[in-house]
């Protein structure tokens, strides 16, 4: 039952936003009483927190399956972007931004946990990219990893990138192209151009 609530709540929060979805809305969608939801999640705050980490775990699981596919490093980052977009429903309701605005403590916890998982993933991607000749040898891996993470986080800021002007998928594509062009060798650029043409 708890898992069922998390699935439905995450779907609604991602599509409609954390602020606008009420416990009544979730109960109605699930065809159950609000009391049943409260027996598993005593407050909306607790449900938002549980849902946030439930979604993060699902995203991380999807990323792990891509990492095990042993794609070239540039193809890997674009594949991860597509899978994450799919998991987050293209962030139509800007969940990151709403989380930061209405649930700052949960947002801080999420950001810390995201950095932890993204950090390892990006470092491995950069190292493989250098070893395989896709990325330049002289790049500062620690610095690039931090640039990548902070840049990615800023894409969800509605003040900088209003959703009615910039689609999240296009925004992430443009950011990835920017990131790869900054670190790629000639071989990496040729690979990037092939991916962009597709």
Average pLDDT over residues 41-58: 94
17-52: b (≥16 Cβ within 10 Å) or e: bbeebeeeebbeebeeeeeebeeebeebeebbbbbb
135 Ramachandran zone, left/alpha/beta (phi>0; psi -120 to 50): beta
Q: Give residue 42's pLDDT.
A: 96
Q: What pLDDT is recorded for position 76?
A: 95
DSSP 3-state assignment of 6? helix
CATH of 52-197, one of 2.120.10.30, 1.10.10.10, 1.10.357.10, 3.40.50.300: 1.10.357.10
pLDDT of residue 158: 82
| Per-residue pLDDT tens over the stretch 131-163 | 999 999 999 999 999 999 999 888 888 889 887
Domain spans, the chain:
52-197
What's the confidence (pLDDT) of residue 44? 96
Q: Could you tell me if 171 and 155 are in contact, meaning their C-beta atoms sit under 8 angstroms apart?
A: yes
Residues facing 135 on adjacent strands: 184
Q: How far apart are CA 86 and CA 62, in angstroms?
A: 10
The reported pLDDT for the residue numbered 10 is 93
pLDDT at 185: 98
Instruction: Report the pLDDT value the prediction gives residue 167, as an integer from 0 to 100.
Output: 83
């Amino acid at each position: 039952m708890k898992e069922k609530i998390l699935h439905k709540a995450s779907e609604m929060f991602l599509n409609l936003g954390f602020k606008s979805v009420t416990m009544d809305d979730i109960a109605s969608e699930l065809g159950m009483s609000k009391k049943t939801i409260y027996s598993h999640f005593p407050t909306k705050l607790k449900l938002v927190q549980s849902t946030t980490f439930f979604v993060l775990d699902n995203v991380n699981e999807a990323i792990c399956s891509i990492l095990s596919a042993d794609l070239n490093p540039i193809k890997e980052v674009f594949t991860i972007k597509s899978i994450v977009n799919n998991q987050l429903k293209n962030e139509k309701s800007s969940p990151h931004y709403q989380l930061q605005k209405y649930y700052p403590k949960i947002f801080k916890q999420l950001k810390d946990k995201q950095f932890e998982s993204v950090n390892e993933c990006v470092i491995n991607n950069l190292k493989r990219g250098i070893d395989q000749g896709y990325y330049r040898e002289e790049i500062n891996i620690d610095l690039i990893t931090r640039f990548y993470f902070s840049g990615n986080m800023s894409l969800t800021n509605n003040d900088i990138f209003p959703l009615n002007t910039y689609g999240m998928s296009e925004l992430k594509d443009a950011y990835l192209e920017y990131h790869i062009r900054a670190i790629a060798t000639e071989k990496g650029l040729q690979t990037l151009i092939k991916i962009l043409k597709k």
